[in-house]
Chains A and B, each alone.
Chain A
Amino acid sequence: MEQHHNSETRTPLNSVAVQRRSKTKSYRLSYRSGIGAASRLGFTPGLTARRLNTSRKAPKSNNITEKVTKEQLALLVKTEWKLSYVTPLYQFRHTQLKSYSRQLSAFIAAEKQQGLAVDVEGTQNRFRVSFSLVQEMTESVDDAVTVFIQIHSKPLIVRQDEPQRPVWSGWLTCINGNLEYLRSLPKDFICLPLFCSSEAGGLTSVVKSWFQQSFDCCFGPLEISHTSLQWLMALWTNCHPESSIRQLKMIWTLPVEPQLQVTYTVNAEDAWQLWSSVRKENTAAAGEENSIDIEEVTSFMQGLKGHFFRHFRLDLSAGRLDEVSTALGSAKHSGRIKFSNSKYMITTLMLLTECALLKMPI
C-alpha cells in the first residue's frame, strides 16, 4: 500500500490526483446497491438480492470469428488467464490509448527503478507497453469496447529474426453487462468489470496500481464459484454436436485427511447424451433463442454425481468442485480460465462479466 502512494508522487500523474476529489459522491452508486437495501433484522445489508442468472442463452457458434480479427483472437485463446473484477474506470477514454501506453511504461519503469525520476521518452526504459482495442467483441451496444494490453521487455541485444514475446498481457472486458446498471453509471465512468491477466513476473500488481491511480478504480480477485463451474460444464457440453468437447473433466477435492482428489472424466458423447436427457422440452418456437435453465444444469450435475455414487458409495456433494475442463476451455475455482476455442468464448465471457459485476463491492 505504502509503495503505491509513493509511486503516485513520483510519476507524472498529478492531474488524476486532483480530479479524484470531485467525484466521490457518485462513486457510491454500484450494481449491488441499485436495489436499495432494506435493513431489516436478520438481514445483512452487505448481502443483496442480486444473484446469478438462473437461465441463459445456449451458446451458439458465435460469429465472433467473422467480426474480430484472427490475430486478436489468437491473443485471447490458449492462455490461462487469472481473473479479477474492476470497479468502473473514471475518465477512461478509448481514444487516449497511445498516451496510456506511454504513461504505463513510465510508471513501470519508475516502480522498477525504485523511485528514480525517469524521462517518459527515456531510452533506458526496458518496458514497451501497447494498448489496443478488440473491436466488435461485444454482445450489446452498451458494452464498452474491450481493451487489450501487452507489455514487452526490450532485450539488451535485439535480434531481428526472433519475434518478441510479451512479458505480460491482460485485458479488460464487458460482455453483455447489465443494461440497467451500465445506464445508471454517471457519464464519466466506463465499465469494464472483467480483468484477465497472464504473466510470469510480478507485473500484474504494478499494472493494477497504475489503473487504480489513473482511473480511481479498485481490483479484487474473482473466483469461479461452484454454480458458475456447473454452468460452464453445461454450456460447454451443450456445444458438443457442433464442436467436439473431446471429454468432460471435473476435479473434486474431498475434505478428508490427507486430502482426496477425484478426477472424473466423462466420454464426450455420453456426457452430451446425459445432457440432452435432462434438457426440458424446448417449447420455444423455431427461430427463438434456445435457453438453458439452472434446473437443467443441476439435474445434469445430479446425474453425474448419481452415477459416481452408484459405483463408489461416495458422495461428491461433501467435497468441492475445483476445476472443470473440456476441449473448449478450462476453468478453475481459484479464478483461472482458459479459452481453447474462440467460437464459444462470448458465452463464457458473458457469465464471467456477470460474476464480476456481482462480486464488486458496494
Chain B
Amino acid sequence: MSRGFVYNILFRTGIVLSVYIRMSLLKPFSKLPGLNAANILLVECEEQFQKSLADALVEETAVTVYVRLAKSLPLPKENEESRPRIDLVVFIINLTSELSFQSAEASLKYLDPGYLLGKVCFMVTNARNASVPTERLDAVRKLAAALHCPLLFAEDQTPDGVTYATKRLLSILKVSAGLVPMATALYLSSLTSCTVPPDIDQPSFD
C-alpha cells in the first residue's frame, strides 16, 4: 500500500486534498516516538465519552499512555510544539446525533493521509438506540470501509462498556505505536478494517 493508494482512497471518498498542503494538518511521522510510550488522540464532538475513556486509558501500566482530547480537527497551532507524535487517532461518533457524524467527517480533512495506513479508527456509540436510523450507521460503515479503518462499537453508559472499549483501543494503540513486536499498524488494519456489504443500498422493495 503506497501513498498514491491512500490519495486514491481520498479522491474516492470525496475528501478534498487541497487541505493537505496546509500546516494545520496532523502528521503521523513528523516527530520521534517516546520510549515505551503511546499517544492517542480522541476526537469527539460532544466531549463526553472521551473523558471517561481517557481516565481509563491512562490506567494502563504496561506502557505509558498519553491521551490528547479534541472536539474536532484541526488541532490548535500553538500546541504543535508540545504535542507528541500521535500514534492513533480515534473518531468517536455518537449515532444518536447527526452532528456527531458530520463533525467527524469534517475533521478527517485535517488528517494527513499517512494516518490512514492503520493509525485511525472509528468508535461508534449508541448503535443499538432505537431512534438511530440505520442509514446513519450505514454512512459510518461506508466511511470507515472507504478509509480502510477499523470500526469499533462501544457502550458509553456503563463502567463495563468503558472498560471493554478501553481494552480494544489499547490493543490497537500498542500496535500502531510500534510496541508489539512483529506487528505493524498497516498489517493490523488490513485485517481489521471495516467492510461494507455490496448490496447495502438495496431498497426493501423493488
Contacts and interface: CB of A to CB of B under 8 A. Distances in A.
Instruction: Specify whether A and B are partners.
Output: yes
Interface of A: 35, 38, 40-43, 47-55, 178, 180, 221, 223, 225-228, 255, 315, 317-320, 333, 354, 357-358
B128 to A, nearest CB: 10
5 tightest CB-CB pairs across the interface, nearest first?
Answer: A227-B133, A223-B130, A317-B98, A317-B99, A318-B99
Interface string B81-109: 00000000000000011111010000000
Contacts of A50: 202, 204
A38 B102 contact: no
A178 B204 contact: yes
B160 interface: no
Given A41-B191, A42-B193, A227-B133, 20 more contacts: A35-B199, A40-B195, A40-B197, A42-B195, A43-B195, A51-B201, A51-B203, A51-B204, A52-B134, A52-B135, A52-B203, A221-B130, A225-B130, A225-B134, A226-B136, A255-B97, A319-B97, A333-B130, A354-B204, A357-B204
B201 A226 contact: no
A254 B173 CA distance: 33
15 contacts: A35-B199, A42-B151, A42-B195, A49-B197, A51-B135, A51-B138, A53-B203, A54-B201, A221-B130, A225-B134, A226-B133, A227-B134, A318-B99, A333-B131, A357-B204
B194 A42 contact: yes
Contacts of B78: none
A52 B202 CA distance: 9
A68 to B, nearest CB: 24
A357 B205 CA distance: 12
Contacts of A35: 199, 202
Contacts of B199: 35, 49
A42 B131 contact: no
Given A47-B137, A52-B134, A255-B97, A42 B192 contact: yes
Contacts of A42: 145, 150-151, 192-195
Interface in B159-204: 191-197, 199-204
A226 B204 contact: no
A255 B131 CA distance: 14
Contacts of B203: 51-55
Given A317-B102, A320-B96, A53 B134 contact: no
Given A42-B194, A255-B46, A53 B204 contact: yes
Given A225-B133, A333-B131, A49 B200 contact: yes
A225 B138 CA distance: 14
Contacts of A228: 133
B6 interface: no
B87 to A, nearest CB: 22
Contacts of B151: 42
B132 A226 contact: yes
Nearest to A254: B97
Most buried by A among B96, B191, B195, B205: B205
Nearest to B205: A53
A55 B202 CA distance: 12
A358 B131 CA distance: 14
Contacts of B194: 42
Most buried by A among B131, B138, B191, B204: B204
Nearest to A40: B195
A66 to B, nearest CB: 26
A261 to B, nearest CB: 15
B168 to A, nearest CB: 13
Contacts of A221: 130
A315 B195 CA distance: 31
A43 B203 CA distance: 19
A47 to B, nearest CB: 7
Nearest to A49: B199
Contact of B205 (A38, A178, A319): A178
A41 B190 CA distance: 11
Contacts of A354: 204-205
Contacts of B135: 51-52, 227
A9 B57 CA distance: 54
Contacts of B97: 255, 317-320
Contacts of B98: 226, 317-318
Nearest to B194: A42
